[in-house]
Amino acid sequence: LNKQNLEKVETFNLGTGTGSSVLEVITAFEKVSNQNLNYQIVGRREGDVIEAYANTYKANEVLGWKAQFSLEEALASAWKWEQKIRVSS
């Protein structure tokens, strides 16, 4: 920023730094959207990642960036945007 980059290209992970399970995301989305999702709970497939989440240390330190919204707030915002673009399409 302002020509203070350490490298020509830098990568930053953005997120809360805390993971959410698929079921937690489904449950949160159902709550904020008032929609029931059609899903099945099945066993893990070979090669499925057990955990993945963003290490946001660099974004926090270099950019001063920090997530401002909870999972539910972010999903509610995304759902509101989705509804808006569906109407305008």
Q: Name the pTM for this structure.
A: 0.75
Query: Could you tell me which residue, 7 or 34, shows the higher pLDDT?
Result: 34
8 Å CB contact between 72 and 32: yes
pLDDT for 8-38, tens place per residue? 788 899 888 888 999 999 999 999 999 999 9
Best CA proximity match to 71, nearest among 38, 22, 36, 37? 22
Query: Could you tell me which residue, 55 or 86, shows the higher pLDDT?
Result: 55
42 vs 8, 21, 22, 50, 87, CA distance in Å?
44, 14, 12, 14, 35
